[in-house]
Structure 1
Protein backbone atom coordinates (compact mmCIF):
# COMPACT_ATOMS: atom_id res chain seq x y z
CA UNK A 1 0.00 0.00 0.00
CA UNK A 2 1.48 3.35 -1.01
CA UNK A 3 1.66 5.94 1.74
CA UNK A 4 2.96 9.43 2.35
CA UNK A 5 5.36 10.04 5.21
CA UNK A 6 4.41 12.50 7.92
CA UNK A 7 6.35 13.65 10.92
CA UNK A 8 5.29 11.95 14.13
CA UNK A 9 3.03 14.10 16.28
CA UNK A 10 2.41 13.89 20.00
CA UNK A 11 -1.19 15.18 20.20
CA UNK A 12 -2.05 17.14 23.34
CA UNK A 13 -5.57 15.69 23.31
CA UNK A 14 -4.11 12.17 23.50
CA UNK A 15 -2.32 12.94 26.74
CA UNK A 16 -5.33 14.83 28.09
CA UNK A 17 -7.76 12.08 27.09
CA UNK A 18 -5.62 9.32 28.60
CA UNK A 19 -5.13 11.28 31.81
CA UNK A 20 -8.85 11.96 32.08
CA UNK A 21 -9.85 8.35 31.44
CA UNK A 22 -7.30 6.92 33.89
CA UNK A 23 -8.00 9.66 36.40
CA UNK A 24 -11.67 8.77 36.35
CA UNK A 25 -11.32 4.99 36.22
CA UNK A 26 -8.96 4.46 39.15
CA UNK A 27 -10.74 6.50 41.86
CA UNK A 28 -14.20 5.42 40.72
CA UNK A 29 -13.30 1.74 41.02
CA UNK A 30 -12.52 2.33 44.67
CA UNK A 31 -15.72 4.17 45.50
CA UNK A 32 -18.14 1.25 45.13
CA UNK A 33 -21.75 1.76 46.08
CA UNK A 34 -24.97 -0.14 45.53
CA UNK A 35 -25.80 1.68 42.30
CA UNK A 36 -22.31 1.45 40.79
CA UNK A 37 -21.98 -0.90 37.84
CA UNK A 38 -18.94 -2.60 36.36
CA UNK A 39 -19.32 -4.62 33.17
CA UNK A 40 -17.34 -6.11 30.35
CA UNK A 41 -17.71 -7.69 26.94
CA UNK A 42 -15.85 -9.91 24.50
CA UNK A 43 -16.71 -9.72 20.81
CA UNK A 44 -15.72 -11.10 17.44
CA UNK A 45 -16.32 -9.02 14.29
CA UNK A 46 -15.98 -10.22 10.71
CA UNK A 47 -14.48 -6.79 9.87
CA UNK A 48 -13.52 -3.98 12.27
CA UNK A 49 -15.05 -0.92 10.64
CA UNK A 50 -14.50 2.53 12.12
CA UNK A 51 -16.54 5.37 10.64
CA UNK A 52 -17.11 3.28 7.53
CA UNK A 53 -13.48 2.28 6.89
CA UNK A 54 -11.72 -0.90 7.94
CA UNK A 55 -9.18 -0.87 10.78
CA UNK A 56 -8.52 -4.59 10.29
CA UNK A 57 -7.77 -4.57 6.53
CA UNK A 58 -11.02 -6.43 5.88
CA UNK A 59 -10.16 -9.29 8.26
CA UNK A 60 -11.88 -10.43 11.46
CA UNK A 61 -11.13 -8.72 14.78
CA UNK A 62 -11.43 -9.86 18.41
CA UNK A 63 -12.25 -7.21 21.01
CA UNK A 64 -12.38 -6.91 24.80
CA UNK A 65 -14.11 -4.06 26.63
CA UNK A 66 -14.36 -3.01 30.30
CA UNK A 67 -16.71 -0.31 31.62
CA UNK A 68 -17.51 1.34 34.92
CA UNK A 69 -20.54 3.55 35.68
CA UNK A 70 -20.61 5.62 38.86
CA UNK A 71 -23.90 6.57 40.62
CA UNK A 72 -23.05 10.28 40.22
CA UNK A 73 -22.95 9.91 36.42
CA UNK A 74 -19.20 9.57 35.91
CA UNK A 75 -18.07 6.71 33.73
CA UNK A 76 -14.83 5.29 32.38
CA UNK A 77 -13.66 2.31 30.40
CA UNK A 78 -11.16 0.75 28.06
CA UNK A 79 -11.17 -1.45 24.96
CA UNK A 80 -8.56 -3.64 23.27
CA UNK A 81 -9.16 -4.53 19.61
CA UNK A 82 -7.24 -6.38 16.94
CA UNK A 83 -6.26 -4.00 14.13
CA UNK A 84 -4.16 -3.88 10.96
CA UNK A 85 -2.57 -0.60 9.83
CA UNK A 86 0.00 -0.33 7.04
CA UNK A 87 -0.35 -4.09 6.49
CA UNK A 88 0.85 -4.84 10.03
CA UNK A 89 -1.18 -6.67 12.68
CA UNK A 90 -1.40 -4.85 16.00
CA UNK A 91 -3.59 -4.03 18.98
CA UNK A 92 -5.55 -0.82 19.37
CA UNK A 93 -6.02 0.26 22.99
CA UNK A 94 -8.66 2.89 23.70
CA UNK A 95 -9.40 4.54 27.05
CA UNK A 96 -12.30 6.91 27.67
CA UNK A 97 -14.01 8.76 30.48
CA UNK A 98 -16.79 11.27 30.90
CA UNK A 99 -19.92 12.48 32.68
CA UNK A 100 -23.56 11.79 31.76
CA UNK A 101 -26.62 13.38 33.34
CA UNK A 102 -30.35 12.90 32.73
CA UNK A 103 -32.54 15.93 31.99
CA UNK A 104 -36.09 16.48 33.22
CA UNK A 105 -37.34 16.01 29.65
CA UNK A 106 -36.15 12.39 29.64
CA UNK A 107 -33.18 13.13 27.41
CA UNK A 108 -29.64 12.97 28.76
CA UNK A 109 -26.41 14.79 27.93
CA UNK A 110 -22.81 13.65 28.18
CA UNK A 111 -19.29 14.96 27.67
CA UNK A 112 -15.93 13.26 27.80
CA UNK A 113 -12.66 12.37 26.12
CA UNK A 114 -11.00 9.31 24.63
CA UNK A 115 -7.46 8.30 23.68
CA UNK A 116 -6.37 5.58 21.24
CA UNK A 117 -2.96 3.89 21.07
CA UNK A 118 -1.73 1.50 18.35
CA UNK A 119 0.90 -1.00 19.49
CA UNK A 120 2.88 -0.99 16.21
CA UNK A 121 1.96 2.44 14.85
CA UNK A 122 2.49 4.88 17.69
CA UNK A 123 2.57 7.86 15.34
CA UNK A 124 -1.12 7.11 14.63
CA UNK A 125 -2.10 7.58 18.30
CA UNK A 126 -4.71 10.27 18.76
CA UNK A 127 -7.27 11.70 21.17
CA UNK A 128 -10.76 13.14 20.86
CA UNK A 129 -13.15 15.23 22.92
CA UNK A 130 -16.87 14.56 22.56
CA UNK A 131 -20.29 15.74 23.71
CA UNK A 132 -23.76 14.42 22.98
CA UNK A 133 -27.49 14.16 23.62
CA UNK A 134 -29.48 10.94 23.84
CA UNK A 135 -33.01 9.67 24.36
CA UNK A 136 -34.12 6.08 24.86
CA UNK A 137 -33.79 5.20 21.15
CA UNK A 138 -31.82 8.06 19.60
CA UNK A 139 -28.38 9.52 20.18
CA UNK A 140 -26.38 12.41 18.71
CA UNK A 141 -22.64 12.93 19.31
CA UNK A 142 -20.06 15.48 18.18
CA UNK A 143 -16.32 14.71 18.31
CA UNK A 144 -13.28 16.95 17.91
CA UNK A 145 -9.68 15.84 17.37
CA UNK A 146 -6.75 18.27 16.99
CA UNK A 147 -4.48 15.56 15.51
CA UNK A 148 -6.62 12.88 13.86
CA UNK A 149 -4.76 9.55 13.78
CA UNK A 150 -1.58 11.39 14.78
CA UNK A 151 -1.54 13.62 11.70
CA UNK A 152 -1.56 17.40 11.52
CA UNK A 153 -5.28 17.29 10.81
CA UNK A 154 -8.04 18.80 12.91
CA UNK A 155 -11.35 17.00 12.49
CA UNK A 156 -14.95 17.25 13.60
CA UNK A 157 -17.16 14.17 13.39
CA UNK A 158 -20.90 14.09 14.01
CA UNK A 159 -22.91 10.89 14.25
CA UNK A 160 -26.56 9.96 14.69
CA UNK A 161 -27.43 6.53 16.10
CA UNK A 162 -30.83 4.98 16.65
CA UNK A 163 -32.79 1.77 16.89
CA UNK A 164 -36.38 0.57 16.54
CA UNK A 165 -37.82 -2.63 18.11
CA UNK A 166 -39.11 -5.13 15.55
CA UNK A 167 -40.16 -8.39 17.21
CA UNK A 168 -39.16 -9.90 20.53
CA UNK A 169 -35.43 -9.26 21.02
CA UNK A 170 -34.90 -8.24 17.39
CA UNK A 171 -34.35 -4.58 16.51
CA UNK A 172 -33.38 -2.42 13.58
CA UNK A 173 -30.24 -0.31 14.13
CA UNK A 174 -29.19 2.72 12.06
CA UNK A 175 -26.18 5.01 12.00
CA UNK A 176 -25.15 8.04 9.94
CA UNK A 177 -21.92 10.00 10.31
CA UNK A 178 -19.98 12.83 8.71
CA UNK A 179 -16.28 13.63 9.15
CA UNK A 180 -15.09 17.14 8.35
CA UNK A 181 -11.40 18.07 8.03
CA UNK A 182 -11.08 21.55 9.53
CA UNK A 183 -8.85 23.88 7.45
CA UNK A 184 -5.28 24.34 8.69
CA UNK A 185 -2.48 26.11 6.79
CA UNK A 186 -4.69 26.41 3.74
CA UNK A 187 -5.46 22.65 3.49
CA UNK A 188 -9.12 21.96 2.79
CA UNK A 189 -9.95 18.26 2.33
CA UNK A 190 -13.43 17.08 1.33
CA UNK A 191 -15.81 15.76 3.97
CA UNK A 192 -16.36 12.02 4.38
CA UNK A 193 -19.65 10.26 5.10
CA UNK A 194 -20.59 6.83 6.41
CA UNK A 195 -23.77 4.91 7.17
CA UNK A 196 -24.84 1.62 8.73
CA UNK A 197 -28.12 -0.30 8.61
CA UNK A 198 -28.49 -3.58 10.46
CA UNK A 199 -30.43 -6.09 12.47
CA UNK A 200 -29.47 -6.82 16.09
CA UNK A 201 -30.70 -9.64 18.31
CA UNK A 202 -30.16 -10.32 22.02
CA UNK A 203 -30.35 -13.70 23.73
CA UNK A 204 -29.46 -13.46 27.39
CA UNK A 205 -25.91 -12.20 27.68
CA UNK A 206 -25.26 -12.79 23.98
CA UNK A 207 -25.77 -10.20 21.25
CA UNK A 208 -25.44 -10.56 17.49
CA UNK A 209 -25.65 -7.98 14.72
CA UNK A 210 -25.60 -8.18 10.94
CA UNK A 211 -25.13 -4.79 9.32
CA UNK A 212 -24.51 -3.24 5.93
CA UNK A 213 -21.97 -0.42 6.01
CA UNK A 214 -21.04 2.16 3.40
CA UNK A 215 -18.57 5.04 3.24
CA UNK A 216 -17.76 7.77 0.76
CA UNK A 217 -14.35 7.94 -0.89
CA UNK A 218 -11.37 9.34 0.99
CA UNK A 219 -11.03 12.22 -1.42
CA UNK A 220 -8.39 13.09 -4.03
CA UNK A 221 -5.54 13.52 -1.53
CA UNK A 222 -5.60 10.03 0.04
CA UNK A 223 -2.04 10.41 1.29
CA UNK A 224 -3.16 13.14 3.68
CA UNK A 225 -5.82 10.90 5.19
CA UNK A 226 -5.22 8.70 8.24
CA UNK A 227 -3.53 5.33 7.70
CA UNK A 228 -6.49 3.04 7.86
CA UNK A 229 -7.40 0.81 4.96
CA UNK A 230 -10.61 0.29 3.03
CA UNK A 231 -10.71 -2.94 0.99
CA UNK A 232 -14.21 -1.88 -0.01
CA UNK A 233 -16.34 1.20 0.53
CA UNK A 234 -19.24 -1.16 1.30
CA UNK A 235 -19.32 -4.25 3.48
CA UNK A 236 -21.63 -6.68 5.23
CA UNK A 237 -20.34 -7.12 8.78
CA UNK A 238 -21.34 -9.78 11.32
CA UNK A 239 -20.54 -9.32 15.00
CA UNK A 240 -21.18 -11.54 18.03
CA UNK A 241 -20.63 -10.34 21.60
CA UNK A 242 -20.91 -11.72 25.11
CA UNK A 243 -21.42 -9.31 28.04
CA UNK A 244 -20.53 -10.03 31.66
Structure 2
Protein backbone atom coordinates (compact mmCIF):
# COMPACT_ATOMS: atom_id res chain seq x y z
CA UNK A 1 0.00 0.00 0.00
CA UNK A 2 1.51 3.40 -0.96
CA UNK A 3 2.84 5.43 1.95
CA UNK A 4 1.01 8.73 1.59
CA UNK A 5 1.20 11.07 4.60
CA UNK A 6 -1.07 14.09 4.60
CA UNK A 7 1.57 16.50 5.97
CA UNK A 8 5.34 16.04 5.99
CA UNK A 9 8.25 18.04 7.36
CA UNK A 10 11.59 17.72 5.56
CA UNK A 11 14.82 19.24 6.84
CA UNK A 12 17.64 20.08 4.47
CA UNK A 13 14.94 20.47 1.82
CA UNK A 14 16.73 23.11 -0.25
CA UNK A 15 18.68 20.57 -2.32
CA UNK A 16 19.75 16.96 -2.77
CA UNK A 17 17.98 14.17 -0.92
CA UNK A 18 15.78 16.62 0.99
CA UNK A 19 14.45 18.23 -2.19
CA UNK A 20 13.92 14.77 -3.70
CA UNK A 21 11.90 13.74 -0.64
CA UNK A 22 9.80 16.90 -0.98
CA UNK A 23 9.07 16.23 -4.66
CA UNK A 24 8.20 12.57 -4.09
CA UNK A 25 5.91 13.36 -1.16
CA UNK A 26 4.18 16.21 -3.01
CA UNK A 27 3.55 13.84 -5.89
CA UNK A 28 1.77 11.58 -3.40
CA UNK A 29 -0.42 14.48 -2.29
CA UNK A 30 1.32 15.38 0.96
CA UNK A 31 1.35 18.96 2.18
CA UNK A 32 4.85 20.03 3.14
CA UNK A 33 6.85 21.96 5.69
CA UNK A 34 10.22 22.69 4.07
CA UNK A 35 13.07 23.53 6.45
CA UNK A 36 16.60 24.73 5.64
CA UNK A 37 18.74 27.84 5.94
CA UNK A 38 18.48 28.92 2.29
CA UNK A 39 15.05 30.53 2.19
CA UNK A 40 15.26 31.52 -1.48
CA UNK A 41 15.71 27.92 -2.56
CA UNK A 42 12.94 26.75 -0.27
CA UNK A 43 10.50 29.28 -1.70
CA UNK A 44 11.38 28.32 -5.27
CA UNK A 45 10.78 24.65 -4.44
CA UNK A 46 7.54 25.44 -2.59
CA UNK A 47 6.23 27.42 -5.57
CA UNK A 48 7.16 24.60 -7.95
CA UNK A 49 5.43 21.90 -5.91
CA UNK A 50 2.35 23.98 -5.12
CA UNK A 51 1.88 24.77 -8.80
CA UNK A 52 2.54 21.24 -10.03
CA UNK A 53 0.68 19.19 -7.42
CA UNK A 54 -1.79 21.57 -5.78
CA UNK A 55 -0.43 20.88 -2.32
CA UNK A 56 0.31 23.40 0.43
CA UNK A 57 4.01 24.02 1.03
CA UNK A 58 5.17 26.04 4.03
CA UNK A 59 8.70 27.45 4.19
CA UNK A 60 10.67 27.70 7.43
CA UNK A 61 14.17 29.19 7.21
CA UNK A 62 16.05 27.93 10.26
CA UNK A 63 19.54 27.14 11.48
CA UNK A 64 19.26 23.60 12.80
CA UNK A 65 22.49 23.94 14.74
CA UNK A 66 20.67 26.11 17.29
CA UNK A 67 19.76 24.54 20.63
CA UNK A 68 16.17 23.38 21.28
CA UNK A 69 15.34 23.66 17.59
CA UNK A 70 12.79 20.85 17.78
CA UNK A 71 10.68 22.53 20.44
CA UNK A 72 10.62 25.81 18.54
CA UNK A 73 9.79 24.23 15.18
CA UNK A 74 7.02 22.09 16.67
CA UNK A 75 5.46 25.20 18.24
CA UNK A 76 5.66 26.99 14.90
CA UNK A 77 4.42 24.21 12.60
CA UNK A 78 2.17 21.97 14.66
CA UNK A 79 2.17 18.17 14.22
CA UNK A 80 3.13 16.30 11.05
CA UNK A 81 2.44 12.78 9.81
CA UNK A 82 5.98 12.29 8.51
CA UNK A 83 9.23 13.79 9.75
CA UNK A 84 12.28 13.46 7.50
CA UNK A 85 15.46 14.39 9.37
CA UNK A 86 17.67 14.78 6.33
CA UNK A 87 19.79 17.85 7.12
CA UNK A 88 23.44 17.13 7.77
CA UNK A 89 26.97 17.74 6.56
CA UNK A 90 30.48 16.41 6.99
CA UNK A 91 33.96 17.72 7.62
CA UNK A 92 37.09 16.09 6.17
CA UNK A 93 40.63 15.96 7.51
CA UNK A 94 42.52 15.00 10.68
CA UNK A 95 40.63 15.91 13.84
CA UNK A 96 43.58 17.86 15.29
CA UNK A 97 43.59 20.14 12.24
CA UNK A 98 39.82 20.71 12.06
CA UNK A 99 38.03 23.96 12.86
CA UNK A 100 36.56 23.48 16.37
CA UNK A 101 33.56 25.72 15.65
CA UNK A 102 32.77 23.82 12.47
CA UNK A 103 32.91 20.53 14.39
CA UNK A 104 30.47 21.92 16.98
CA UNK A 105 28.11 22.93 14.17
CA UNK A 106 28.44 19.49 12.59
CA UNK A 107 27.46 17.78 15.83
CA UNK A 108 24.65 20.28 16.32
CA UNK A 109 23.08 19.61 12.93
CA UNK A 110 23.86 15.90 12.50
CA UNK A 111 23.08 14.77 16.05
CA UNK A 112 21.49 17.31 18.38
CA UNK A 113 18.93 18.66 15.90
CA UNK A 114 17.90 15.18 14.80
CA UNK A 115 17.25 14.12 18.40
CA UNK A 116 15.51 17.41 19.17
CA UNK A 117 13.13 17.14 16.22
CA UNK A 118 12.43 13.46 16.78
CA UNK A 119 11.57 14.17 20.42
CA UNK A 120 9.39 17.14 19.47
CA UNK A 121 7.26 15.47 16.79
CA UNK A 122 7.09 11.83 17.92
CA UNK A 123 4.56 12.29 20.78
CA UNK A 124 1.89 13.60 18.36
CA UNK A 125 2.35 10.54 16.17
CA UNK A 126 2.23 8.15 19.12
CA UNK A 127 -1.00 9.76 20.31
CA UNK A 128 -2.51 9.46 16.83
CA UNK A 129 -1.38 5.87 16.43
CA UNK A 130 0.15 6.52 13.02
CA UNK A 131 2.89 8.44 11.28
CA UNK A 132 6.52 8.03 10.42
CA UNK A 133 10.04 9.34 10.98
CA UNK A 134 12.93 8.90 8.57
CA UNK A 135 16.36 9.70 9.96
CA UNK A 136 19.03 9.89 7.26
CA UNK A 137 22.18 8.09 8.39
CA UNK A 138 24.87 6.90 5.98
CA UNK A 139 26.97 3.89 5.05
CA UNK A 140 29.58 5.73 7.15
CA UNK A 141 27.53 4.59 10.16
CA UNK A 142 28.85 1.03 9.91
CA UNK A 143 32.51 1.68 10.74
CA UNK A 144 34.77 4.38 12.18
CA UNK A 145 35.99 6.77 9.47
CA UNK A 146 39.47 8.25 10.07
CA UNK A 147 39.65 11.58 8.29
CA UNK A 148 35.90 12.04 8.87
CA UNK A 149 35.85 10.97 12.50
CA UNK A 150 33.00 13.20 13.67
CA UNK A 151 30.79 12.46 10.67
CA UNK A 152 31.22 8.68 10.95
CA UNK A 153 30.50 8.78 14.68
CA UNK A 154 27.50 11.08 14.18
CA UNK A 155 25.95 8.74 11.63
CA UNK A 156 26.63 5.73 13.84
CA UNK A 157 24.73 7.58 16.55
CA UNK A 158 21.86 8.30 14.15
CA UNK A 159 21.61 4.65 13.19
CA UNK A 160 21.71 3.36 16.78
CA UNK A 161 19.33 6.04 18.07
CA UNK A 162 16.82 5.45 15.28
CA UNK A 163 16.79 1.68 15.74
CA UNK A 164 16.05 2.13 19.44
CA UNK A 165 13.21 4.58 18.72
CA UNK A 166 11.88 2.15 16.07
CA UNK A 167 11.44 -0.44 18.80
CA UNK A 168 9.75 2.04 21.14
CA UNK A 169 7.36 3.36 18.49
CA UNK A 170 6.48 0.10 16.72
CA UNK A 171 3.71 -1.02 19.15
CA UNK A 172 1.97 2.34 18.61
CA UNK A 173 1.71 2.12 14.83
CA UNK A 174 4.45 4.68 14.09
CA UNK A 175 7.07 3.77 11.49
CA UNK A 176 10.65 4.83 12.26
CA UNK A 177 13.38 4.23 9.70
CA UNK A 178 17.14 4.69 9.56
CA UNK A 179 18.10 5.41 5.94
CA UNK A 180 21.74 4.78 4.98
CA UNK A 181 22.69 6.06 1.53
CA UNK A 182 26.14 5.65 0.06
CA UNK A 183 27.69 8.26 -2.22
CA UNK A 184 24.88 10.32 -3.71
CA UNK A 185 24.87 13.03 -6.39
CA UNK A 186 24.21 16.03 -4.16
CA UNK A 187 26.11 19.08 -2.87
CA UNK A 188 27.45 16.94 -0.01
CA UNK A 189 30.99 16.62 -1.37
CA UNK A 190 31.09 20.29 -2.35
CA UNK A 191 30.53 21.13 1.33
CA UNK A 192 33.08 18.51 2.42
CA UNK A 193 35.58 20.09 0.07
CA UNK A 194 36.82 16.92 -1.65
CA UNK A 195 35.44 14.01 -3.64
CA UNK A 196 38.13 11.71 -2.28
CA UNK A 197 35.68 10.90 0.51
CA UNK A 198 33.27 9.31 -1.98
CA UNK A 199 33.17 5.51 -1.83
CA UNK A 200 31.56 3.28 -4.44
CA UNK A 201 29.20 4.15 -7.27
CA UNK A 202 27.07 7.27 -7.02
CA UNK A 203 23.30 7.02 -6.64
CA UNK A 204 20.77 9.73 -7.42
CA UNK A 205 18.72 11.39 -4.67
CA UNK A 206 15.58 10.07 -6.37
CA UNK A 207 16.83 6.49 -6.04
CA UNK A 208 17.57 6.99 -2.35
CA UNK A 209 14.10 8.42 -1.71
CA UNK A 210 12.39 5.62 -3.63
CA UNK A 211 14.20 3.06 -1.46
CA UNK A 212 13.07 4.85 1.70
CA UNK A 213 9.44 5.02 0.63
CA UNK A 214 9.42 1.34 -0.35
CA UNK A 215 10.82 0.49 3.08
CA UNK A 216 8.03 2.46 4.75
CA UNK A 217 5.46 0.62 2.63
CA UNK A 218 6.64 -2.82 3.75
CA UNK A 219 4.10 -4.83 5.73
CA UNK A 220 6.56 -5.20 8.59
CA UNK A 221 9.13 -2.43 8.10
CA UNK A 222 12.46 -2.97 9.79
CA UNK A 223 14.47 -0.38 11.66
CA UNK A 224 16.73 0.53 8.78
CA UNK A 225 17.63 0.19 5.14
CA UNK A 226 20.91 0.56 3.27
CA UNK A 227 20.61 2.01 -0.23
CA UNK A 228 21.90 -0.31 -2.93
CA UNK A 229 22.83 -3.99 -2.95
CA UNK A 230 26.59 -3.36 -3.01
CA UNK A 231 26.37 -0.93 -0.10
CA UNK A 232 24.16 -3.32 1.86
CA UNK A 233 26.62 -6.17 1.31
CA UNK A 234 29.56 -4.03 2.41
CA UNK A 235 27.70 -2.88 5.52
CA UNK A 236 26.88 -6.51 6.37
CA UNK A 237 30.51 -7.58 5.91
CA UNK A 238 31.77 -4.98 8.39
CA UNK A 239 30.36 -7.14 11.19
CA UNK A 240 32.86 -9.90 10.43
CA UNK A 241 36.07 -7.94 9.83
CA UNK A 242 38.68 -7.52 12.57
CA UNK A 243 38.26 -4.03 13.97
CA UNK A 244 41.80 -2.88 13.24
CA UNK A 245 41.59 -4.08 9.65
CA UNK A 246 38.20 -2.38 9.21
CA UNK A 247 39.49 0.98 10.48
CA UNK A 248 42.60 0.82 8.29
CA UNK A 249 40.52 -0.02 5.24
CA UNK A 250 38.06 2.79 5.97
CA UNK A 251 40.93 5.28 6.30
CA UNK A 252 42.35 4.28 2.91
CA UNK A 253 38.98 4.55 1.19
CA UNK A 254 38.29 8.18 2.19
CA UNK A 255 41.88 9.47 2.05
TM-score, normalised relative to structure 2: 0.30
The answer to which structure has the higher strand fraction is: 1
The answer to which structure has the higher helix fraction is: 2
